[in-house]
Structure 1
């Protein structure tokens, strides 16, 4: 076994001391080359689909809209604005990249905004940047859903939030789906500010109707001369209502709001100056501590993972864990009890984490073990990483008593996860099917972050079972069985995929398996940055 040297700093001493980890190295089983080749062929199809998804998402509103924005209006693209604001755009953790694709009202790439977490003068910040090339910067229902989720993450992790604003307000033909929940964005902005989470805005274009509230409610706002405008109704509306002809600059330009109304605080001549001011503001924000312990790469290659994922999502969880954690060293908890749920401790980029991973059906004993382990991590203030891949029960309960015991164990683990006081980071690495998905910290449990691999499957029950049930229902009504079968199969094949889920903001985005360790590191930096940890309200209860 190999050991690694790690460095820690205690609060009582300025001296660093070293210790050697005694966690065991996972003894990786050999990879079957035939099975690996079959799995990689299947994964290649998913990768091609993922690549097309990303290309479409990053295309914005299309070539014509991009040219109009950059050449005619002389404005920077949202991605270029982020480049000016961030310390390192390569270290930007984008959230909801696939949101808005394939919606009933058409594609809304990135849901009309780029959102994610990056460093500004070393401070981790949430950034929400409107993309005015998409639908003219108007807000669609999916955009609202994405922004509310991003604000939830910002509040959960106490991240200073930058709004890079250029918005035309709500898309009026769909106003019924936007109006009432839309006000929640302003509520969130006010509440986060009251909690001491800085709210900052840079006005890069029109902020019309509801879009006008975002910079006005921010603690500090930057506005660009003859480019940024804030008003509830623009010059055409003023003329229609009063007959008065007024320019956008006089009605709601930077000169007015920086010198007369006081709605904004910093006057910028152009976009580079605006983002320089935005960066200067970050220097005044509280600093934070991140994971800085020494780390080492896993012993096993993460590029092997696609060959370990079968088309049926049968995955050996030890093979995955060994390719994510430092030195592939894992201290397993209760290995012989409830072995279909793997729990234990490891380091990821020097940060100690608790890992919970499915390795089969979540049995009664497995759920009991999971509840115990989650409480243990809460007691010790250790972040939890869930690797979710739910499986069907191969041995259904033979009696009501057995079924009741199983339900109680699942309920116990759901309670432990729901009431946990440490960060939860969930990856759907295979199936997210049925009620056991809740137990493994799915979206309903409010994890700090939830990502999925391209092969992930989301469904309320086994898709094949649902298909059979729907076919039986169709045949009983005398419908054309073959026609129903084609329709149902197509529906299930579409609506259970990772791409369908990501486009509807059911998660925070699709991550390639070999990128998992990097994304976990970024998430750990975020959750460890500003969060004030709650203390457990009860002792650790054994099974």
Structure 2
């Protein structure tokens, strides 16, 4: 392996300005994350505790192994919408009895844990991660089902949640439900379709229709316990497999279930001895300039996240605005594609295509580090074949079957976002730094294109062109695109799985790589037709 060197000067004004800008963005992200952690607010939280109940996050903390990390996913779901940030549920990967599991916990302090459109989108994203990576799933159930005022957006697509749960079971992926409170209407199907179900004495309530609905539908008078209490389901219906005396006991039983799964990861194990990077991850704060038009060397990032800062670069003298090479991260082999100067030319596209093929031949997962403005445009580049070469790269990304993980560090615009395996190309995980921006193109470019088209249309009609109105339009569009390309906006719409602190990058990527190795790692046998 070749050990990377670093040219970062942490005392340089440029570095200090970049670190300050990143810290400011991190503060903004943390403030929004705090809203998700706060749940429904102090009053709802106090009422929940008065009932003797743990919060969703406290339940997760007790469930996972002591001192093990929990990788929360899609924490900003719904940001910028009318709904509570976080999608009214806490989801993420945690280690339970040594087994990496997907944990899904509705937050009962937010509208009773009911599912709104963002809850649904978040849950479906989590189900994709479960299926692709073969992660056992543990549902910490306390939910009133669909948020009724938004049922028109939840009811029809919401059926996929239950379909996914049964398909996971059919694929041999264990599904476990720990029922902490109400699990009504559609929510009742979560325990109904799980492999293992734990209910809690005098707490769990599972029924398709509660007493008010039963009264309206049939005229029958009933109470919660006889209709759907834990005692009834444990003794009469048989829905409950285990009967817990309190929440802590339910969590203990849940851990015991996982311990008895005899679960084995199907991918290759990591190297036993792992070297830490030679350079301080704290320095990642100042790598990305505040102005994304200024390029930065992605090797400085790679040197601070891979084992021993060792990186064997592939074709270093060819297509130099894309860095490609081999490394290990937390003991797992990985191929890395990282944008160096933003623009992708024909050479970079061909280089990436070959590299992706090699990774599939050696069954090596791929990590894409984004900072791209897209593929190069212009007569010279069109004549040299940028369309067919860019298409080769996208073809390779589309048909590659080794796990892909994407990290948006800076810009991720246009078809470059696609070629670097953006969300539409189904990477196993997508994360973003607070500095990331993603859109069809930059705001100034998009506004300029619209302005040119408008000017040409006015000339074709023989009309005058209103320069003042055009300037106002351009300013408005630039501001709109700027707002819609920011990391929190994109994360709020679930176009990534989380905005992360750059200093946590090695840990987050290590957990993601470990998760993907729960499933087999198998490269593609073939690709689509490459235009040469």
- Equivalent position of 1:355 in the other structure: 336
CA–CA distance in structure 2, aligned partners of residues 362 and 153 of structure 1: 30
Partner in structure 1 of residue 199 of structure 2:
223
**Which one of the candidate residues 319, 330, 355 is aligned to 2:311?**
330
Structure 2 contact 374–417 (Cα < 8 Å) conserved: no
Partner in structure 2 of residue 244 of structure 1: 220
Q: CA deviation at 1:491?
A: 2.1
Q: Check 1:239–1:146 CA distance in 2 against 1; reply closer, same or farther (3 A cut).
A: same
Partner of 2:275: 296
Higher mean C-alpha displacement, 85-94 vs 393-402: 393-402
Cα distance in 2 for residues equivalent to 1:485 and 1:539: 42
1:299 alignment partner, SS class: coil
Matched, 1:344 2:325: yes
SS in 1 for 2:524: coil
Partner residue, 1:501: 490
Tell me the equivalent position of 1:234: 210
Conserved 8 A contact 2:359-2:523: no
Query: Residue 212 in 1 paired to residue 188 in 2?
Result: yes
| Alignment partners' CA distance in 2, 1:169 and 1:540 | 43
Matched with 1:6 is none
Contact 1:293 1:351 in 2 (8 A): no
Structure 2 counterparts to residues 481-500 of structure 1, below 5 A: 484-485=473-474, 487-500=476-489
**Cα separation, 1, equivalents of 2:527 and 2:155:** 45
Corresponding residue for residue 84 of structure 1: 62
The structural deviation recorded for 1:97 is 1.1
1:89/1:118 contact within 8 Å kept = no
Deviation per CA, 1:497-531: give whole Å up to 9, x if none. Answer: 10011111111001111111111111111111x21
Instruction: Determine helix, strand or coil for the equivalent of 1:110.
Output: coil
Tell me what 1:18 maps to: none
Shift of the alpha carbon at 1:534?
A: 3.3
SS of 2:90's equivalent in the other structure is strand
User: What is the deviation of 1:418?
Assistant: 1.7
Q: Is the 8 A contact 2:318 2:348 kept in 1?
A: yes
d(CA) in 1 for partners of 2:376, 2:358: 29
| Distance in 2, Cα, partners of 1:195 & 1:393 | 40
Counterpart in the other structure of 1:44: 23
Give the TM-score normalised by structure 1: 0.90
Q: Does 1:62 align with 2:51?
A: no
Match of 2:402 in 1: 422
Question: 1: CA distance between counterparts of 2:234 and 2:207?
Answer: 14
CA deviations over 1:253-306 (Å, ceiling 9, x no partner)? 111212211222111111011111100100111333542421112122221222
User: Which residue number corresponds to residue 27 of structure 1?
Assistant: 5
Instruction: Report 1:379-528 matches (<5 A).
Output: 379-391=361-373, 396-398=378-380, 400-402=382-384, 405-470=385-450, 480=469, 484-485=473-474, 487-528=476-517
Partner residue in 1 for 2:135: 159
CA distance in 1 between partners of 2:155 and 2:109 (Å): 22
Residue 400 of structure 1: how far off its partner (Å):
4.4
What CA RMSD, in Å, does the superposition of the two structures yield over aligned residues?
Answer: 2.2
What SS does structure 2 have at the residue aligned with 1:435? helix
Quote the offset at 1:44 in angstroms. 2.6
Q: Which residue does 1:536 correspond to in 2?
A: 524
Structure 1 residue 41 displacement after superposition? 2.6
Q: TM-score by structure 2 length?
A: 0.92
Match of 1:199 among 162, 175, 183: 175
State the Cα distance separating 1:340 from its structure 2 match. Answer: 1.0
Counterpart secondary structure, 1:162:
strand
Shift of 1:486: 5.4
Q: Does the CA contact (< 8 Å) of 1:342 and 1:357 recur in 2?
A: yes
- Tell whether the 8 Å contact from 1:222 to 1:277 is kept in structure 2 after alignment: yes
Q: Structure 2, unaligned stretches of length 5 or more? A: 459-464
* Residue number among 99, 119, 130 corresponding to 2:106 in the alignment: 130
Tell whether 2:72 aligns with 1:94: yes
Verify the 8 A CA contact 2:403 2:521 in the aligned structure 1. no
